[in-house]
Each structure stands twice: as C-alpha cells, then as structure tokens.
C-alpha cells in the first residue's frame, strides 16, 4: 500500500528532480523498515506460539517455515519499492536479467533442498533467490540514485531491541501471545516516537504525495 501510494510522486520526480526523488525513496524505505523489522523480530521470537494459536498443534512443523517467511519481509518490503524505482526511471531492462537468474537459482535450490528438507527447503530456496534479486536491484538503484538507509537502521535498533526484550520477558512469564503482541507493539512505537517524532508526519507526506 505504501509503495503504491508513493509511486505517483516518484514517477513525477524521476529524471526531473533526483534529489527530491532520493528523499522520497529514503523516507519510504524508512517506513518499510520501521514496520518490517519489528514484525520480523516479533515473528521470529513468537513463532512457536503463533503457529499453534492460529493453525493448531498439528502444524508445529511449520514453525521454521513461518520464521523464514518473517525474514522474507525484510527482503520483499524494500524489493517492491526498488522495482518501482527502477521502473519509473525507465530502466526496466535492468530487471530482466536479475529476475531470470533468480528463477533459475530458485529452481536449482529447490532441486537440492526439497528432497532433504521438504517445505522448509523450499522456503529457504525462495528466501535465497529473492535476496539475490533484492541485492542486485539495490546495487542497480544505487547507481541510478545514490540513496542511503544507514540512518534508518540506527534509528530502529533501540526500539527493536527494547521490543524484543519485552517480548522475551512476557513470553517467559507465560503472557498470552495476543497480549504480548499488543504490549510489545505499544512499547516499540512509544520508544520509536520518543526517538523520532517526525515519522508519522513523514508517512502522511508520502501517502499524500
């Protein structure tokens, strides 16, 4: 939704105002990471409670797959935006080779991993091939417009660490997973808002174009 909302603005700025485009790209990536990173960490820690709650005890073997899919969020969130960014710069040809290689890589990894690890192997293959595509797109987009994400990573470290600690403490004391998610999410956004009060304003600007 955020990627779709930012697309018209990015399309207007591409090749016309590269500096403003860079700002929009960085801010949108920032929102993706500020949402995706805590979801990933929370999902990794609470996977063994979420799966039984949602699907029942019969699906405990799906926990590793769920955790891998949580990591996929960190790849797929920015990948969508990077593809959009390359597209608005009319550099679609740069997408073809990476996607073809990603498909080939996925097929090869599936061939070797699925017989031994089953659905977990398929999830690992998808994560690896998608990560390769994302890394390639990242490099290509950096050459087109030299954006940065290090400040965002620095911003999110403390809130995620505090949130993860709260999750572990609540989990240790047997607090239900739903209440754990609600409480730890509230703590995350409270710490984040304390550090970076402008995040909601930036999100509104992106959504509003």
Residues 6+ apart with CB under 8 A from 113: 121, 122, 124, 125
Per-residue pLDDT at 23 exceeds 90: no
Per residue in 33-54, pLDDT (tens digit) is 888 999 999 999 999 999 999 9
Is residue 156, in this structure, part of any structural domain at all? no
Is residue 165, in this structure, part of any structural domain at all? no
Per residue in 91-111, pLDDT (tens digit) is 888 788 889 999 999 999 999
Is residue 206, in this structure, part of any structural domain at all? no
Is residue 158, in this structure, part of any structural domain at all? no
For residues 140-169, give the mean pLDDT. 91
Nearest of 156, 168, 144 to residue 44 by alpha carbon: 168
Is residue 187, in this structure, part of any structural domain at all? no
In 38-134, DSSP assigns E strands to none
pLDDT recorded at residue 75 = 92
Per residue in 28-38, pLDDT (tens digit) is 888 888 889 99
Is residue 18, in this structure, part of any structural domain at all? yes
Is residue 25, in this structure, part of any structural domain at all? yes
Contact 90, 144 (CB under 8 A): no
Show the domain range for 71: 2-147
Question: How far apart, in whole angstroms, are the C-alpha atoms of residue 98 and residue 143?
Answer: 15
Tally of domains within the chain: 1
Per residue in 131-146, pLDDT (tens digit) is 999 999 999 999 998 8
Can you read off the two tokens belonging to residue 85?
Answer: 């960014």
């Amino acid at each position: 939704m955020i990627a779709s909302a930012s697309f018209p603005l990015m399309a207007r700025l591409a090749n016309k105002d590269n500096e403003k485009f860079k700002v929009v790209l960085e801010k949108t990536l920032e929102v993706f990471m500020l949402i995706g990173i805590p979801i990933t960490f929370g999902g990794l820690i609470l996977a063994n409670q979420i799966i039984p709650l949602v699907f029942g005890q019969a699906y405990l073997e799906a926990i590793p797959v769920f955790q891998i899919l949580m990591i996929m969020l960190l790849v797929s969130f920015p990948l969508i935006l990077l593809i959009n960014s390359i597209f608005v710069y009319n550099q679609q040809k740069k997408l073809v080779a990476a996607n073809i290689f990603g498909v080939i890589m996925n097929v090869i990894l599936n061939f070797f991993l699925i017989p031994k690890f089953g659905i977990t192997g398929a999830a690992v293959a998808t994560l690896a091939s998608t990560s390769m595509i994302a890394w390639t797109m990242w490099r290509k987009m950096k050459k087109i417009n030299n954006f940065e994400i290090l400040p965002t990573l620095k911003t999110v470290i403390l809130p995620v660490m505090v949130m993860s600690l709260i999750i572990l403490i609540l989990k240790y004391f047997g607090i239900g997973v739903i209440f754990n998610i609600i409480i730890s999410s509230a703590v995350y956004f409270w710490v984040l808002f304390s550090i970076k009060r402008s995040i909601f304003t930036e999100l509104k600007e992106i959504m509003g174009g």
